[in-house]
């Protein structure tokens, strides 16, 4: 609560993002270290310290922009394939398995990728390996029509 951090539903844990309060122009760099928010229409949950730095503690909810700055790298993709889609990233393997099971009804290309970043293990739910951005975008749009938030990863 008193450290500058954030929760996001789909960005990989350990990612760094820049959050800008659109009403006052204040901006801060925060690390995603939790899942959430789980309220319709909200894209990021900030710690008290981050909200205070942005000048939004009193109002509680504000319009912000979120810009990814650094996403933990992957050791998964090898060879000529350079794009994949990420639908979720979790500290708990069971949460990743649950999401993958739901995605199996949408696509046969879902899988779980395990990565260790700064001593922390993350379980990422990903879809496909694509050799072009266009092919990845096509599948991303298809998966998104089922209500999933999809991040295109360029590796």
* CATH number for the domain that contains residue 99: 3.30.70.1070
The answer to whether residue 103 is domain-embedded is yes
pLDDT tens digit string along 9-26?
Answer: 888 888 888 899 989 988
- Banded model confidence at residue 155, pLDDT cuts 50, 70, 90: low
Residue 61 and residue 106 share a domain: no
pLDDT tens digit string along 57-97?
Answer: 988 899 988 888 887 765 443 444 478 899 999 999 999 99
Q: Which domain holds residue 17?
A: 5-70
The pLDDT > 90 percentage for the chain reads 39
- pLDDT value at position 131? 82
Among the listed residues 124, 38, 36, 46, the one whose alpha carbon sits nearest the alpha carbon of residue 85: 124
Among the listed residues 105, 31, 28, 106, the one whose alpha carbon sits nearest the alpha carbon of residue 64: 28
**How many domains would you assign to the chain?**
2
Between the ranges 32-41, 68-77, 94-103, where is the mean pLDDT highest? Answer: 94-103
- Banded model confidence at residue 103, pLDDT cuts 50, 70, 90: very high
3-state secondary structure of 98: helix
The pLDDT > 70 percentage for the chain reads 94
- pLDDT value at position 123? 93
In 3-155 the beta strands, taken as DSSP E runs, fall at 5-7, 16-21, 27-34, 45-46, 64-70, 83-90, 110-117, 120-130, 151-154
The answer to whether residue 78 is domain-embedded is no
Residue 30 and residue 53 share a domain: yes
Residue 99 and residue 62 share a domain: no
The span from the CA of 136 to the CA of 108, in Å, is: 14
- pLDDT value at position 47? 94
- pLDDT value at position 73? 65
The span from the CA of 64 to the CA of 106, in Å, is: 31
Residue 104 and residue 52 share a domain: no
List C-alpha distances in Å: 115 to 32, 51, 71, 126.
16, 30, 12, 12
CB 31 within 8 A of CB 6: yes
- pLDDT value at position 79? 45
């Amino acid at each position: 609560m008193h450290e500058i951090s954030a929760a996001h539903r789909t960005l990989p844990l350990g990612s760094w993002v820049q959050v800008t309060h659109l009403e006052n122009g204040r901006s801060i760099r925060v690390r995603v270290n939790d899942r959430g928010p789980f309220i319709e229409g909200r894209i990021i949950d900030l710690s008290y310290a981050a909200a205070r730095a942005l000048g939004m503690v009193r109002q509680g909810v504000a319009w912000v922009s979120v810009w990814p700055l650094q996403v933990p790298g992957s050791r998964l993709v090898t060879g000529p394939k350079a794009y994949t889609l990420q639908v979720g990233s979790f500290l708990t393997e069971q949460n990743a398995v649950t999401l993958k099971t739901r995605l199996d009804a949408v696509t046969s290309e879902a899988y779980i990728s395990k990565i260790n970043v700064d001593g922390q293990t993350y379980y990422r739910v990903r879809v496909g390996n694509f050799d072009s951005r266009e092919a990845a975008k096509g599948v991303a749009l298809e998966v998104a029509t089922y209500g999933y938030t999809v991040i295109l990863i360029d590796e």
